[in-house]
Structure 1
Amino acid sequence: MMKQFSLLLTLLFLCACKQPEARKPISVKSGSFIDVSVKRNKELLAKEEAEILRRIALDSTINYKASESGFWYYYNTKTEIDSLKTPGFGDIINFNYHVKDLNGVPIYSKEEIKTQTYAMDQQELFTGLREGLKLMKSGETVTFIFPSQKAYGYYGDQNKIGSNLPIICEVTVNSITPNQSN
């Protein structure tokens, strides 16, 4: 009886020590969703850019510049003083701005937004405005046209700016205080 018991115990021990087996996936996913999303976003950007360029062409009195970052702008007030610098990392920028849609309909007024103080590249700010501020000097006013990907994108601002909405921002830099640690 003891031999049978030890044989049974040995068999149980050997069966319990088997190597784990890899589980097979239930379903295989492909990258098709990403491919469709990329295609949709490229089409959306092309449509927005076409509309922006059409609006720029309608206003031949203004000389718009295309930025390397993918938005358009022109100077309402330009400072020609070379001693003034554009902001660098950590500089404190005091500015005002207001937001309109492409038809010129106000979304946010300067009074609603109020004067902003921003530490360059150290605080949250939508991509287009952050990149636009880097082009400006103290005392300048610039009008920017941002496609939705440079503005508030797919989600909007969850308030007045809707999904995939290109915007126009008129920005005035009141002052730039250099970062003391630079």
Structure 2
Amino acid sequence: MMKTIYIFLIGSLFWSCAEEKKPEEIKEAPKYDKEQSIEMFKGFAEEEKEEIENFIMRHPDWKLQFTETGLYYSVYKPGEGENIQYGQTAVVRYEISGLDGSVYYKSDSLKTESFKVDKADIESGIHQGIKYMNKGSKAKFIIPSHLAHGLIGDMDKIPALASVIYDVELVDIQ
């Protein structure tokens, strides 16, 4: 019996030494040069523009206008007075959603939020679009990712490279 155990132990020792495990190779992420990156982002931009245009075709009643920067906007309820200007404070209510209809954020209907036009650290598309509005007006903005949250989204609810729809009411100008 001892002899059997002894043979088993020696056999196990040789067996375990025979298989040497190699560490897994770590693959490096592909490297992109400037030209490749530019081409890749052009592709993203073209796809995004096509998605936005398809959305607009399904919503012709929005009567959207297009700016040179890529912002689409429609003031669907006119307000009164002069349009808001650089440095003024916009007091707003809003809803932010995706092109698929999912609501990302919504301001409380009883509360408002405010920001200084062209000075606050918010999406550049909002700064552009709000200037088409005056007190009491309501507007919809379709903001492409390069004017919204860009490559990484907001790292919470808005995904990377997402176009967003803002439905904004300019409650007051201060």
TM-score, normalisation: structure 1: 0.73
Give the aligned partner of residue 61 of structure 2: 61
1:70-117 CA-partner distances (Å, limit 9, x unpaired): 1112122123x4xx11222211111111111101111112229x5221
Taking the aligned partners of 1:118 and 1:60, their CA distance within structure 2 comes to 31
Unaligned 5+ runs, structure 2? 1-31
Match of 1:168 in 2: 165
Checking the alignment, whether the CA contact within 8 Å between 1:100 and 1:108 is kept in structure 2 is: yes
- C-alpha distance in structure 1 between counterparts of 2:84 and 2:36, whole Å: 39
Aligned pairs for 1:122-161 (under 5 A) are 122-161=119-158
Give the drift of 1:60: 2.5
In the TM superposition, 1:76-155 aligns within 5 A as 76-79=76-79, 81=80, 84-111=81-108, 115-155=112-152
Would you say the 8 A contact 2:107–2:113 is kept in 1? no
Q: Counterparts of 2:146 and 2:172 in 1: how far apart (Å)?
A: 28
Note the 1:13-92 alignment, pairs <5 A.
33-79=33-79, 81=80, 84-92=81-89
Cα contact 2:75–2:133 (8 A) shared by 1: no
SS where residue 82 of structure 2 aligns? coil
Aligned residue for 2:151, secondary structure, equals: coil
Alignment: residue pair count: 142
Q: Contact conserved, 2:153 with 2:162, CA < 8 A, in 1?
A: yes
Asked whether the 8 Å contact 1:69–1:131 carries over to 2, the reply is no
Q: TM-score, normalised by structure 2?
A: 0.76
Gap regions ≥5 residues in structure 1: 1-31, 178-182
Q: 1:123 to 1:61 in 2, by over 3 A?
A: closer
